[in-house]
Amino acid sequence: MRIFIVHAHPEPTSFNGAMTRTAVSTLTSAGHDVVVSDLYAMGFDPVSDRRNFVTVKDSLVLKQQAEEAFASERNGFVPELQAEMDKVAWCDTLVLQFPLWWMGLPAILKGWIDRIFAAGRAYGGGRMFDRGVFVGKRAMCSVTVGGHEAVYSEHGVYGRSVSSMLLPIHHGILAFTGFGVLEPFVVHAPARMSPEERQASLAEYGERLLSLEVAPTMSSLRMADYEGLVLKSASPLPFSGPPALRR
């Protein structure tokens, strides 16, 4: 198994750092290949615009998607983006490791998506969901959050689970591009854990990682049910219940 971990935390000694070190040692010991992009350590620039390209389709007006599609056909991405695209193409499973900041991805990781998942490379021409570019690959969010679990429930101030908060990422980014989306691994309030609790959580994460190949993925869409990106009238609604799991 080839695992690509995109790591987005500024402090190496953080719990996120410990999780990625656990992932590398656990997976490597089990005979898997692991590649890590440590975005802060790399000084990754998350701003998406003309800086993405060595090619220029229209020098007067920037239409980002059109420039992306143009660059996709001409090997026109700057080397630091091409290198990340190559890692995504290489892997069987993509792991996004991040602290939940403001209910979403830290900007450095959001910009990694904005820039790497370019039109022509990650989608385009009807390639999405079960016809997506990354069909056959799996993806998982590995997330730390500051609050306890109850705070992320319908009775908590956030009103919904971390998994619900991740829905735009799960559905709109990962499933959209064809990944089989695994349930996220969520760690609550690591800063308030005892050393024993930290070790137990890291051990649980290690076990979870070893099941990446066989764990169920969330249900996605079948594009055959859609016409013009809208459900054909005869098809059942795909989101009528809680997210189903399938093997």
145, 98 Cβ separation under 8 angstroms? no
Q: Any contact of residue 17 with a copy of itself (CB under 8 A)?
A: no
Q: Which of 61, 214, 234, 244 binds a copy of itself (CB under 8 A)?
A: 61
Q: Which of 75, 136, 157, 234 binds a copy of itself (CB under 8 A)?
A: 157
Q: Is 92 exposed, middle or buried (0-12, 13-18, 19+ CB in 10 A)?
A: middle
Q: Any contact of residue 106 with a copy of itself (CB under 8 A)?
A: yes
Q: Which of 53, 70, 129, 205 binds a copy of itself (CB under 8 A)?
A: 129
Q: Any contact of residue 85 with a copy of itself (CB under 8 A)?
A: no
Q: Any contact of residue 156 with a copy of itself (CB under 8 A)?
A: yes
C-alpha 147, offset from chain centre = 22
Closest CB to a copy of itself among residues 149, 204: 149
Q: Which of 214, 230, 234, 244 binds a copy of itself (CB under 8 A)?
A: 230
Question: E strands within 195-236?
Answer: 217-218, 226-227, 230-231
Q: Any contact of residue 118 with a copy of itself (CB under 8 A)?
A: no
∠ Cα 42 71 90 (to 5°): 55
Question: Whole-number minimum distance, CB 67 to a copy of itself, in Å?
Answer: 10
16, 7 Cβ separation under 8 angstroms? yes
76, 53 Cβ separation under 8 angstroms? yes
Question: Whole-number minimum distance, CB 103 to a copy of itself, in Å?
Answer: 3
Q: Any contact of residue 206 with a copy of itself (CB under 8 A)?
A: no
Q: Any contact of residue 125 with a copy of itself (CB under 8 A)?
A: no
Q: Which of 135, 158, 206, 208 binds a copy of itself (CB under 8 A)?
A: 158
Contacts of 152 (CB under 8 A, 6+ apart): 145, 158, 160, 161, 162, 165, 188
Per-residue burial over 56-71, b = 16 or more CB atoms within 10 Å of its CB, e = otherwise: ebeeeeeebeebbbbb
Q: Residue 228's CB: how many other CB atoms inside 10 A?
A: 6
> Which residue stretch of 22-30, 98-106, 135-143, 194-202 sits at the interface with a copy of itself (rule: CB under 8 A)?
98-106
Question: Whole-number minimum distance, CB 1 to a copy of itself, in Å?
Answer: 26
Contacts of 22 (CB under 8 A, 6+ apart): 202, 205, 206, 209
Find the helix or strand (DSSP H, E) in which 102 lies: none
Residues of this chain that interact with a copy of itself (CB under 8 A) are 10-11, 13-14, 40, 46-50, 61-65, 101-108, 110-111, 113-114, 117, 128-129, 146-148, 150-151, 153-160, 165, 168-169, 171-173, 176, 191, 221, 223, 226, 228-231, 237-239
